[in-house]
Structure 1
């Protein structure tokens, strides 16, 4: 029976990321979390990318299957190139053209999966039609295919929410068009024939499930409710102490003093010029710091640089296992382009940052990290963004040599220690919300043991109300230390106002207040009768709020002499609520107590304390 019950809750997810390892890894981590919850995941990519992914744990390998779709040939795209790591930045647009050629084979795969191919019956849940498709920013062609088979789509952003909000909704950009040359730069076409902004907006328009992170403002911009889901990072494990002598970078790090090395990596898509590399190299040389530099291609280096710095530096042009490098005890800081995946991986180990952003969300991430005191940004000229060797040397020495570096490192460690566990709870609650399998036992195991409330995010009324878009940097999770977490946005789980009013009747004596007038009327009546009022401040995007709702209904029936009200914080926004769910206890018009989080026992204790046992 238990096995049958589990099977009833098993869902089949198709997960399909963009062809960059900064996307592939978080999508794989999401797949592993879904599989750990008992669901089945079909992970789709190209053959070479799948071969380069980390191996799955033994307990998950039967829940995650890999489906390899060969990348079509494109004129000008190097043979064997299947990810952004395989091509220089100027050829990424050709990779996008090849990626668009996967539409037809993906359509064939979905058609076969939905037809219930008899040959796949032996594959168990993998022989069933998909319940969800989780896709990336570039799949503007996938949602119409999914709609033909009535499969809902989830758009999963690996970018910080502040960047998603900065870009805004397509229709809002139409209403407020770009007017300067700089405004139009993100709209430029490339060799694939589709601008990245167009891919992004067309995918968002189709998705029933969206995954950004500044929850209310994005729900308002895209008209899709948002559920936070935490950070998706590979398991950190213990800091690596060496011993793997098959890895040149590890062997070199083994020979360096603890905390002495600066890791330098600028990602695979940053438009780094020869001049940028020369100035960065000269700055590293001037700084005197030890460094490990992941660089492609080496021909960009100034003549003689490697020889002059060979005693304290290593330039590596092959594949670098970034998590292993960052976890090595010799590592002291990270010079990064501020891609969110790289920043999050660095923070996992508490490393301070030297920040050199180039494109897209990287400038906003650098701004947020600077404001949180975890590093410094390399100074650039205001007019053209140029940086020089002296700017690099000053930033590196400040983090690696001067006393400020100790403060940055301490702040980075505090940032990660305060946030990672809470994000883990958010992820579990979000998955439970999406899959609708969160029961009372799950609440005890996955939520109360880690964190008991979901933070209420900041809520600017509109991006167009912000006077200086360049300085726009909303904290991604208002009550959490680490800025930036993944999230699910549920379309089908949220109803219109009329449906919510019908739900109020089904909830017994729990009264849902949708307007200020309704709320004040109920509070006034309770004050006259001197009854205790318990107010559940909730949110449709919050898994813990949804999990405690049946308990709140149960209490309302058990304590009929108490007034139980429910208020959605996204409907009545004037109340200053720091986290949801939050329960206020009011008597005689005065707040007398509060419970923060989905804690059934504490809630019941305080109801009985202030209202007594039912007659």
Structure 2
């Protein structure tokens, strides 16, 4: 009987990701891969997010979107449904709203009786699913590096006692690497884990409850990159840890906009520096100045895509005096959205400067560019340590105690990465090429999904 069950492929899986595009999207990319294995998916998400994700649903006959009504919570602007609707300091209230969808979610689970429920921030899912005999998987779309250093029981964060900066500056007991030591401003950026995230629960407590309650922990990474960290997380929680691999989206084969294609075509192969800091990073005006002046001083052509800085409605009005005239023809600072993947694939791009969010981390590794990292938030810092100190495929920009960088430090990091004759430039190019060859090898990504699906099949046997 066990053999028959383990060969099942027609699992019905209910997905309930956190209400942020950076979580919804990887859950949907994984859903597409699982449909190819024979599964059907019920995907729960805020109504407003459906339009954002429809074009990533490659199997609308097998992946059904179920809108969840997000209740209004005092402290949130009216109509808030996703993290994109609010500044980061209001995210706690959005978590309260997500928890208040529990009755809706519970009804859907009871009505549909799926084989599995996959979730991330909704730590109460196991309480709903286990009495019904439904298996639960907590799927983390951040790096194992971020989970292992902050969200493990070895941190021993006592309820009601805030974790200190000093405690966070050193790895927890048993952490499998001595190279990660967090400086003052970096440790401070992780203090949010002991702050409220929902009613009566901190971010740390929510994460631990979610991992203690599930049948298995899944992480969007691969053994080759973060195997030791994943083993550590499994030993901390006493749970099997399943790895999905990066689960990168299939290329939509959308051509690069003419505006950028024609501009980039005017430069030699591998000569242009591209910088993108994502949708959540908003610089202070002084930092914007240091950034663009740093690019100017490299002497290299550059394309920078950034949101306008604090207090400015456009990027143009915030640029230093005379800057646009001085860099005309070789440098562009753009305040709107750009096709990041398509730009990275253009032959003229030689260096990618980014904050090392988990999505950009994988895109960096899969690209043919030198990598320069300017992390800001907690998990970006831990991803950067993985890239710069463990894998040695990137250069990290030096920053001061406040986390600020100078134009000189940025310029030096870029020049160091781009100079293939230098020791650093030569080392990161060699290591990056080796990792890109592994990750891009035929069948690598599909074998990660194959193994993940086999783990799911084995889970239903127990």
TM range (shorter): 0.7 to 0.9
Structure 2 vs 1, CA of residues 44 and 394 (structure 1 numbering), >3 Å: closer, same or farther? same
Q: Is the 8 A contact 2:29 2:56 kept in 1?
A: no
**Alpha-carbon distance in structure 2 between the residues aligned to 1:255 and 1:47:** 43
User: Is residue 430 of structure 1 aligned with residue 448 of structure 2?
Assistant: no
**Aligned match of 1:415:** 435
User: Is residue 285 of structure 1 aligned with residue 286 of structure 2?
Assistant: no
TM-score, length of structure 2 as denominator length: 0.78
**Alpha-carbon distance in structure 2 between the residues aligned to 1:374 and 1:54:** 35
Q: Secondary structure at the match of 1:230?
A: coil
Q: Is the 8 A contact 1:265 1:335 kept in 2?
A: yes
Structure 2 vs 1, CA of residues 249 and 135 (structure 1 numbering), >3 Å: closer, same or farther? farther
Structure 2 vs 1, CA of residues 191 and 427 (structure 1 numbering), >3 Å: closer, same or farther? closer
1:500-530 deviations in Å (ceiling 9; x for gaps): xxxxxxxxxxxxxxxxxxxxxxxxxxxxxxx
Q: Is the 8 A contact 2:351 2:418 kept in 1?
A: yes
**Alpha-carbon distance in structure 1 between the residues aligned to 2:348 and 2:91:** 36
User: Is residue 348 of structure 1 aligned with residue 366 of structure 2?
Assistant: yes
Q: Is the 8 A contact 2:244 2:449 kept in 1?
A: yes
What is the Cα deviation at residue 352 of structure 1? 1.9
What is the Cα deviation at residue 386 of structure 1? 3.3
Larger radius of gyration: 1
Q: Secondary structure at the match of 2:110?
A: helix
Worse-superposed segment, 424-433 or 209-218: 209-218
Which consecutive unaligned segments of at least 5 residues does structure 2 have?
Answer: 169-190, 220-226
**Alpha-carbon distance in structure 1 between the residues aligned to 2:388 and 2:305:** 24
Pairwise CA RMSD: 3.4
**Alpha-carbon distance in structure 2 between the residues aligned to 1:111 and 1:332:** 51
What is the Cα deviation at residue 387 of structure 1? 1.9
Q: 1:139 aligns with which of 122, 147, 150?
A: 122
1:436-468 deviations in Å (ceiling 9; x for gaps): 5xxxxxxxxxxxxxxxxxxxxxxxxxxxxxxxx
**Aligned match of 1:481:** none
What is the Cα deviation at residue 32 of structure 1? 0.8
Q: Secondary structure at the match of 1:335?
A: strand
Structure 2 vs 1, CA of residues 16 and 275 (structure 1 numbering), >3 Å: closer, same or farther? farther
**Alpha-carbon distance in structure 2 between the residues aligned to 1:272 and 1:183:** 28
User: Is residue 375 of structure 1 aligned with residue 394 of structure 2?
Assistant: yes
User: Is residue 189 of structure 1 aligned with residue 211 of structure 2?
Assistant: no
**Alpha-carbon distance in structure 2 between the residues aligned to 1:286 and 1:84:** 36
Q: Is the 8 A contact 1:379 1:391 kept in 2?
A: yes
**Alpha-carbon distance in structure 1 between the residues aligned to 2:246 and 2:339:** 20
Q: 1:199 aligns with which of 176, 192, 206?
A: 206
Q: Is the 8 A contact 1:84 1:268 kept in 2?
A: no
**Alpha-carbon distance in structure 1 between the residues aligned to 2:272 and 2:102:** 44
**Alpha-carbon distance in structure 2 between the residues aligned to 1:6 and 1:386:** 53
**Alpha-carbon distance in structure 1 between the residues aligned to 2:28 and 2:325:** 39
Structure 2 vs 1, CA of residues 303 and 385 (structure 1 numbering), >3 Å: closer, same or farther? closer
Worse-superposed segment, 161-170 or 99-108: 99-108
Q: Is the 8 A contact 2:117 2:134 kept in 1?
A: yes
What is the Cα deviation at residue 425 of structure 1? 1.0
Q: How many pairs were matched up? A: 415
Q: 2:156 aligns with which of 173, 186, 208?
A: 173
User: Is residue 231 of structure 1 aligned with residue 227 of structure 2?
Assistant: no
**Alpha-carbon distance in structure 2 between the residues aligned to 1:23 and 1:256:** 36
User: Is residue 216 of structure 1 aligned with residue 231 of structure 2?
Assistant: yes
**Aligned match of 1:295:** 306
Q: Secondary structure at the match of 1:369?
A: helix
Q: Secondary structure at the match of 1:415?
A: helix
**Alpha-carbon distance in structure 2 between the residues aligned to 1:109 and 1:272:** 38
Q: Is the 8 A contact 1:72 1:98 kept in 2?
A: no
**Aligned match of 1:107:** 103
Matches within 5 A, 1:457-496: none
Q: Is the 8 A contact 2:276 2:354 kept in 1?
A: yes
What is the Cα deviation at residue 8 of structure 1? 6.1
**Alpha-carbon distance in structure 2 between the residues aligned to 1:179 and 1:197:** 10
